[in-house]
A and B are shown apart, each in its own frame.
Chain A
Amino acid sequence: SQQGEEDPQALSIQEGENATMNCSYKTSINNLQWYRQNSGRGLVHLILIRSNEREKHSGRLRVTLDTSKKSSSLLITASRAADTASYFCATGTSYGKLTFGQGTILTVHP
Chain B
Amino acid sequence: GAVVSQHPSWVICKSGTSVKIECRSLDFQATTMFWYRQFPKQSLMLMATSNEGSKATYEQGVEKDKFLINHASLTLSTLTVTSAHPEDSSFYICSARAGDTGELFFGEGSRLTVL
Contact = CB atoms under 8 A, between A and B. Distances in A.
B49 interface: yes
Q: Could you say which interface size class chain A belongs to? A: 20 to 34
B45 interface: yes
A94 B43 CA distance: 21
Q: Could you say which interface size class chain B belongs to? A: 20 to 34
Nearest to B104: A96
B44 A100 contact: yes
Interface string B79-98: 00000000000010101010
Contacts of A101: 43
Contact of A96 (B32, B42, B45, B93): B32
Contacts of A45: 104-106
A100 B43 contact: yes
A61 interface: no
A99 B49 CA distance: 12
A29 interface: no
Contact of B104 (A1, A98, A102): A98
Interface in A47-104: 88, 92, 94-103
B34 interface: yes
A42 B43 contact: no
Interface in B65-115: 91, 93, 95, 97, 102, 104-109, 111
Given A43-B93, A97-B46, 6 more contacts: A40-B111, A42-B107, A42-B109, A43-B106, A44-B106, A96-B95
Interface of B: 6, 32, 34, 36, 42-46, 49, 60, 91, 93, 95, 97, 102, 104-109, 111
